[in-house]
Each structure stands twice: as structure tokens, then as C-alpha cells.
């Protein structure tokens, strides 16, 4: 609470004396301002009671930390002013509020504290975005069944596949890379492999996933935070490119794609 007023007062061992202007504004002034009271600070703009500090709050945090007078009651409110029922653990004036679930970037919280009839100013904090994550782990890619013939063929994906990234960090670069460390392998015979069959196709450009990490998506710092879906046309993205005569008929081949989500340019 911040009180701004004008008037005269004095205090000493015999107690506190205040002018009528002050008493009209704060009827219990003489009870609040006692000579030994250590929590009051004076400034040109008014009187501030009980300092309160709130550490920055991120949407990845598991707790909120508030510092104020030991033994205080610390309250947290949502943006509409509704009190949030959450209770802290105190350690010498540091109050730790454990969160059951992380908060959302952009959430607004308000804080105040009360101790021995003295109050802090209300402090507002906005939750800062700090997340960069796959929304769901990439699911398996299934490719079309292909007729065996002696010519190089591109085999398209069969399932409606996509990948989503959630980025709440402001002014943040990120990229997604894919890599295949083992060739397509006969699920019943590890010695039967199809080398360099997995490719990433972007327009006329093709890259082999077995040659190392291939960038498949990128966002720059100028792009707004949020959820981004990564998907491609049927004849683009991750595909299989082989001469089918190299594969055995009526046989399934599989491999593992390693996905890497990197924070930074």
C-alpha cells in the first residue's frame, strides 16, 4: 500500500504526534508510526511500508520465490484480482510457492504481503516465456508400398505426418534437424539393408539423411512465439529414394530418425 499525504508529525520516546491532515488520512497513524517501528521508509513521493521482491517468473519454473518481512502473510492474485489458493514455505523472509503445474507465458500475477497490520505495495509480475519443445514426440513415418522395378523411384509417405514445435521464448532462434544413423533394414534380417535410401527433399534440393544432420525447419528471432507445425507436400520433406529392385519382395524395412531441436541461430 502506498499513502501520499501532506502534514507534519514528530515522534520520540514519548510517542507520536501528527497534524490533523495526517490523522484525517490515516486515523491510526499514532499506532502505525511508533518510535521503534523498523519497517517504514520515507521518500519524496510518500511512505512505503514493507518492501517486497518477486523473482522473475518463467513458464518453466516449478516454484515462485518472494522476499519480504519474515513472518508475513504473502498473497498471490490473478489478473482479475482473484486470490490464488497456494501456500508457501518460508525460510527467513524468503517465501517459496511450489507450483503443481507450470504457468503460461503472458500470465499476470499480483502480489502483496501483510505483517503486524503493515502492508507492502502491490507488485505485478508477467510470466516470461522460456519453453522450446516438441509438442508431441514425432510419430512413426509409414511409406507407400512400392512396385519392384529396375529404376530409381521416390516413395512418398503414406500417413498424414506432421511435427509441431512450441516456442514461448521472445526474440528466439530455433531449428529442427533430422538424421538417420542406420540404413533401412529388413525387420527380419539385419544383414539386408538399403543404404542411403532416406532423403530430405526441398524443391529441387535433395539431401541424404545418412550423411549427417539435415536442417528441416528454422525460425528466426523476428518470428513471433507460439506453436509451429512442420509439414510438407506429399512429394517433399522426408522421403525414400531407391531402386526398388534392391529390396526383397513382400518385406518391411525400417530405421530410426533422430530429431534434434536446437535453441539458437
The whole-number pLDDT of residue 161 equals 79
The whole-number pLDDT of residue 118 equals 86
Taking only the tens place, the pLDDT of each residue in 171-213 is 899 999 999 999 999 999 999 999 999 999 999 999 999 999 9
> Per-residue pLDDT averaged across 117-139, rounded?
89
pLDDT score of 2 more than 70: no
Taking only the tens place, the pLDDT of each residue in 89-101 is 999 999 999 999 9
Distance CA 148, CA 194 (A): 14
Taking only the tens place, the pLDDT of each residue in 103-123 is 999 999 999 999 987 899 999
Length of the chain: 265
Distance CA 35, CA 30 (A): 10
pLDDT score of 138 more than 90: no
Structure letter (DSSP) for residue 245:
G
Distance CA 120, CA 100 (A): 26
The whole-number pLDDT of residue 39 equals 46
Domains of the chain (ranges, CATH numbers) = 1-49 (no CATH), 56-128 (2.60.40.10), 132-263 (2.60.40)
Distance CA 113, CA 120 (A): 5
The whole-number pLDDT of residue 44 equals 47
The whole-number pLDDT of residue 43 equals 47
Nearest to 66 by CA among 40, 88, 81: 88
Give the pTM.
0.70
Taking only the tens place, the pLDDT of each residue in 39-76 is 454 444 444 578 999 999 999 999 999 999 999 999 99
- Would you state the cell numbers that stand for residue 212, as one nine-digit string? 549427417
Amino acid at each position: 500500500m502506498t499513502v501520499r499525504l501532506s502534514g507534519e508529525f514528530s515522534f520520540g520516546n514519548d510517542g507520536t504526534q501528527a497534524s490533523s491532515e495526517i490523522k484525517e488520512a490515516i486515523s491510526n497513524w499514532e499506532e502505525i508510526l511508533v518510535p521503534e517501528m523498523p519497517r517504514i521508509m520515507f521518500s519524496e513521493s510518500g511512505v512505503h511500508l514493507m518492501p517486497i521482491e518477486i523473482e522473475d517468473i518463467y513458464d518453466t519454473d516449478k516454484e515462485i520465490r518472494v522476499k519480504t518481512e519474515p513472518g508475513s502473510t504473502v498473497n498471490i492474485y490473478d489478473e482479475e484480482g482473484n486470490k490464488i489458493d497456494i501456500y508457501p514455505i518460508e525460510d527467513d523472509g524468503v517465501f517459496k510457492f511450489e507450483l503443481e503445474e507450470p504457468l503460461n507465458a503472458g500470465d499476470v500475477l499480483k502480489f502483496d504481503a501483510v505483517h503486524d497490520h503493515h502492508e507492502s505495495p502491490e507488485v505485478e509480475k508477467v510470466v516470461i516465456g522460456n519453453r522450446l519443445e516438441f509438442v508431441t514426440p514425432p510419430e512413426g513415418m509409414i511409406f507407400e508400398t512400392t512396385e519392384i522395378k529396375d529404376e530409381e523411384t521416390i516413395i512418398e509417405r503414406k500417413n498424414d505426418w506432421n511435427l509441431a514445435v512450441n516456442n514461448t521464448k521472445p526474440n528466439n532462434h530455433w531449428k529442427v534437424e533430422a538424421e538417420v544413423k542406420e540404413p533401412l533394414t529388413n525387420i527380419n534380417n539385419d544383414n539386408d539393408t538399403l543404404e542411403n535410401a532416406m532423403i530430405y527433399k526441398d524443391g529441387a534440393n535433395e539431401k541424404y539423411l545418412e550423411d549427417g544432420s539435415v536442417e528441416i525447419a528454422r525460425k528466426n528471432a523476428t518470428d513471433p512465439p507460439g506453436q509451429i507445425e512442420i509439414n510438407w507436400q506429399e512429394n517433399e520433406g522426408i522421403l525414400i529414394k531407391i531402386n526398388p529392385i534392391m529390396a526383397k519382395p513382400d518385406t518391411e524395412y525400417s530405421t530410426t530418425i533422430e530429431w534434434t531441436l536446437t535453441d539458437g541461430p
